[in-house]
Amino acid sequence: MIKLGNLLYVVLFAGAHYAAGAPNSGYQYSREVNAWLRLHMVPATWAEAGMRCLLEGGTLASPTTNAMAQVMVAMMDDHKLTRSVFTGINSILVRENFTSLEGVPLSSIPVGWAAGQPDNENSDEECVALTGAAQLEDVSCGSMLPYFCKKPSKSPNCGDGEHEYNMVSRTGSCYKFNREPKSWRNALATCYAQGGYLAIINSKTESTVLKEILAVEKKGGYTYVGFMKYADGVWATINGDTLAEAGFQEWAPQEPNNAAGIETCGSIFASGLLNDAQCVDPRAFMCEFTL
């Protein structure tokens, strides 16, 4: 149990941004723009922002389409951000002509200037910020502003093909049923190694999806998924959400029964309903990857 406790410590902290998708920590996938976006709330200069995005494998994002502008403004609103964010749009690369880092000229960008902008204050405003009202303003590149990084989507077939994940559009996730039985803890690590995570059930729909996968796989008994009983006795997902917060908490009849007093790991029956299971028992398991 001590070892498991240590592991959970790691899982809890490594999973701080987990809801955003395990392989893209801090990033949220947006179906509207088919890309991963991360809003960096800690302000940086434009140069630092660009570098930070590069280091994360992305680019400083710009509202180059209506959908992108809407998604950016919605995320700013979600974060209660009242100030503008840097975009990748600048006139450094093309003197006197604003273009995004992808090379999209301002004339093709469907977002207009805010009133009185661009005013090139102090003749020092070669970078462009996006306001919460979806308008542009020219600003000094040395300003300190929040910003978005953008990463291209993984392929819609759920990745590199190496790990056989299957896309389910009803949930927007990819799943892989692993038939080879493993302990819950090994299952957890195996999913991470496959670029996913031990499946987290976020809705009745997702429970149904898993039930259907288990039916195709002709899998009876129970299958490990990504929730567990924490030290305080609360059942929560591997990223620390209670089952209610995660969105699904329907136990199978008579469960959780804590059989033999050692059932602290999460699983589902073929019905898609939840069961507490002993952790060391090798079982098949379900991995998930969130697009």
276 binds Ca ion (CB under 5 A): yes
Residue closer to Ca ion (CB basis): 32 or 119: 119
Cα dihedral 38, 39, 42, 43 sign: positive
Taking the C-alpha atoms of residue 225 and residue 275, their distance in angstroms, rounded to an integer, is 10
Tell me the closest approach of the beta carbon of residue 55 to Ca ion, in angstroms: 28
Rounded to a whole number of angstroms, the minimum distance from the CB of residue 199 to Ca ion is 6
State which of residues 22, 60, 138, 210 lies at the interface with Ca ion (CB under 5 A).
138
Separation between Cα atoms, residue 248 and residue 211, nearest integer Å: 14
The nearer residue to Ca ion, 56 or 125, going by C-beta atoms, is 125
Residue among 100 and 135 whose Cβ is closer to Ca ion:
135
Show contacts with Ca ion in window 104-133 (CB under 5 A): 119, 125
CA–CA separation, 237 and 205 (whole Å): 17
Subset of residues 239 to 258 that bind Ca ion, contact rule: CB under 5 A? 255, 257
User: Is the CB of 147 or the CB of 149 nearer to Ca ion?
Assistant: 147
CA-to-CA distance for 222 and 150, rounded, in angstroms? 39
DSSP for 226-250 reads EEEE-TTS-EEETTS-BHHHHT---
Minimal distance, residue 54 CB to Ca ion, in Å: 26
Nearer to Ca ion, 19 or 67 (CB): 19
The H or E element spanning position 168 is: strand 166-168
- Which of positions 4-33 make contact with Ca ion (CB under 5 A)? none
Asked if 98 and 106 touch (Cβ cutoff 8 Å), the reply is yes
Kind and range of the H or E element at 48? helix 46-55
Site for Ca ion in 157-216 (CB under 5 A): 200, 202
Instruction: Note the residues at the interface with Ca ion (CB under 5 A).
Output: 119, 125, 137-138, 200, 202, 255, 257, 263, 275-276
